[in-house]
Amino acid sequence: MKKELFIFCLIMISSYGYTQSVYTYDLKKDIVIGSLSLGMALSPFFVNNEPDQIPTALKKDDINILDQALMFPYNKTVDIISDYAVYSLLALPALSVIGNIHDNNTLLTYGIMYTEAFLLTSGTKELLKKSIIRYRPYMYEDGLPDGKEDDYYNSFPSGSTAYAFLGATFLSTTFSWEFPESKWKVPVIIGSYTLAVGIASMRIASGSHFITDVLTGAAIGSFYGWIIPFLHKKQNNEDNLTIHFTGNGILVSLKL
**Is the entire prediction scored with pTM above 0.75?**
yes
Task: Give the Å distances, CA to CA, from 132 to 70, 92, 118, 175, 233.
Answer: 21, 31, 21, 35, 35
Please report which confidence band the pLDDT of residue 9 belongs to, taking 50, 70 and 90 as the band edges.
very low
Residue 251, pLDDT > 70, answer no
Between 92-106, 118-132, 134-148, 237-251, the lowest mean confidence (pLDDT) is in 237-251
Asked if the model's pLDDT at residue 148 lies above 80, the reply is yes
Report how far residue 221's alpha carbon sits from residue 218's, in angstroms, rounded to the nearest whole number: 5
CB contact burial 43-73 (16+ within 10 A = b; e otherwise) = ebeeeeeeeeeeeeeeeeeebeeebeeebbe
Q: What is the pLDDT of residue 235?
A: 74
- Cβ-based burial of 203 (10 A; exposed 0-12, middle 13-18, buried ≥19): buried
| Least confident span in 83-92, 208-217, 223-232, 235-244 | 235-244
